[in-house]
Copies of this chain bind each other. A is one copy, B any other.
Amino acid sequence: MKKLINDPQNVVIESVRGFGLAHPDLVRVNEDPLYVSRAGGAVQGKVGLVSGGGSGHEPLHAGYVGMGMLDAAVPGAVFTSPTPDPIFEATKAADGGAGVLHIVKNYTGDVLNFETAAELAEAEDIQVRSVVVNDDVAVEDSLYTAGRRGVAGTVLVEKIAGAAAERGDDLDAVVAVAQQVIDNVRSMGVALTACTVPHAGRPSFDLEENEIEIGIGIHGEPGRHKIPMAGANEITERLLDPVLDDLKIGSGEKVLLFVNGMGGTPLSELYLVYNHAREVLDGKGVEVTRSLVGNYITSLEMQGASITVLRLDDALTELWDAPVNTPALRRGV
């Protein structure tokens, strides 16, 4: 295991500390309990947005704290759900008096701990609502999950719900927008190599030299099947086709196409995958009106990628285009 780390027990705190030092204009790090909130604090009268989960998926979630996205993010240990206490404290830090939305990826630990934190917050008269992101079409039920896993679609939920909150939508309206994104976004990923959790010290799963895993989860959970290494076009189709089938996207519809890197794959390869995904979508008469390509939700140093498609309407497009000012996504400000 070769990693730029010191003691495996301290990777999260040392990294988040560096993150806070690098972005003092945007975020503030609270070390005990550990959460990241906006540098300027909660925005009074605005719905607060909180997300979180195991570390190892950076820039998700702390990279999306800032104007137009999250108010606070809670990093757990690597690939381990944060406990209720830091989620509760982050919820308080995000509360501007208009209620707080928890954006939760569908993993059993995350769902339980966010629920407990919500109960703690409600006991202090903070109104909390939750949405659960479950965009991964690869498998129903999985290691750590009942139902579908939450993966790259989470980034789009955070951006679009964040924009709705920022323009002043009330809690019900922000929940509705977040749920609309969840209902219309699907993803699937591939792993070319495994990743290694620092305190484990060995790869999370095994892949042969000439083998890849289609439908991989962001923690290396089993996907649909292992297949021999194939060309990028074939791999792209094996990810994109199930996504489109599940979404029932038809000719003439508008979509956002998001090609995400798992952490260890070069940007050039992501654009190459994007290129063929466009060819496929063009062939089906699906109009790609918005795009995102890069490492936005990762699995440590895993090589691989995921493809996400979001069905757009004018309202979602306007929220996608709204200004955002976070360490990992910045536009219009």
Residues of A participating in the B interface, judged by any CB pair closer than 8 Å = 2-6, 11-12, 14-19, 21-23, 55-56, 58-59, 63, 192-193, 210, 212, 229, 231-233, 235, 263-276, 278, 288, 291, 293, 295, 298, 300-301, 303, 305, 330-333
Indicate the member of A23, A231, A301, A330 with the most B CB atoms within 10 Å. A301
Indicate if the CB atoms of A2 and B301 lie closer than 8 Å.
no
Q: How far is the CA of A256 from the CA of B295 in the complex (A)?
A: 24
Q: Which residue of the partner chain, among B4, B17, B193, B232, contacts A6 with CB atoms under 8 Å?
A: B232
Which residues on the B side are within 8 Å of A305 (C-beta)?
A: 4
Closest to A231 in B: B6
Q: How far is the CA of A2 from the CA of B263 in the complex (A)?
A: 14
Known: A4-B232, A235-B4. A300 touches B193 (CB 8 A): no
Known: A2-B303, A21-B278, A264-B264. A15 touches B269 (CB 8 A): yes
Indicate if the CB atoms of B301 and A15 lie closer than 8 Å.
no
Closest to A1 in B: B229
Indicate the member of A233, A271, A331 with the most B CB atoms within 10 Å. A271
Which residues on the B side are within 8 Å of A21 (C-beta)?
A: 274-275, 278, 288, 291
Q: List 8 A-B contacts (CB under 8 A).
A: A4-B192, A4-B232, A4-B265, A18-B276, A59-B267, A264-B264, A265-B301, A295-B295
Indicate if the CB atoms of B192 and A268 lie closer than 8 Å.
no
Q: Which residue of the partner chain, among B192, B288, B291, contacts A2 with CB atoms under 8 Å?
A: B192
Q: State the number of copies, please.
A: 2
Q: Which residue of the partner chain, among B11, B278, B333, contacts A268 with CB atoms under 8 Å?
A: B11
Indicate if the CB atoms of A6 and B291 lie closer than 8 Å.
no
Indicate if the CB atoms of B268 and A22 lie closer than 8 Å.
no
Question: Nearest Cβ distance between residue A130 and chain B, in whole angstroms?
Answer: 26
Q: Which residue of the partner chain, among B2, B18, B295, contacts A274 with CB atoms under 8 Å?
A: B18
Indicate if the CB atoms of B231 and A5 lie closer than 8 Å.
yes
Which residues on the B side are within 8 Å of A192 (C-beta)?
A: 2-4
Indicate if the CB atoms of A272 and B18 lie closer than 8 Å.
yes
Indicate if the CB atoms of A15 and B271 lie closer than 8 Å.
yes
Q: Which residue of the partner chain, among B18, B233, B275, B293, contacts A278 with CB atoms under 8 Å?
A: B18
Q: How far is the CA of A305 from the CA of B15 in the complex (A)?
A: 15
Question: Nearest Cβ distance between residue A20 and chain B, in whole angstroms?
Answer: 9
Known: A6-B233, A233-B6. A274 touches B22 (CB 8 A): yes
Which residues on the B side are within 8 Å of A14 (C-beta)?
A: 232, 272, 275-276
Indicate if the CB atoms of A301 and B18 lie closer than 8 Å.
no
Which residues on the B side are within 8 Å of A5 (C-beta)?
A: 231-232, 269, 272
Q: Which residue of the partner chain, among B18, B267, B272, B303, contacts A273 with CB atoms under 8 Å?
A: B18
Known: A275-B17, A301-B264. A2 touches B269 (CB 8 A): no
Which residues on the B side are within 8 Å of A331 (C-beta)?
A: 330, 333
Indicate if the CB atoms of A268 and B56 lie closer than 8 Å.
yes
Q: How far is the CA of A188 from the CA of B267 in the complex (A)?
A: 22
Which residues on the B side are within 8 Å of A18 (C-beta)?
A: 271-276, 278, 293
Indicate if the CB atoms of B298 and A267 lie closer than 8 Å.
yes
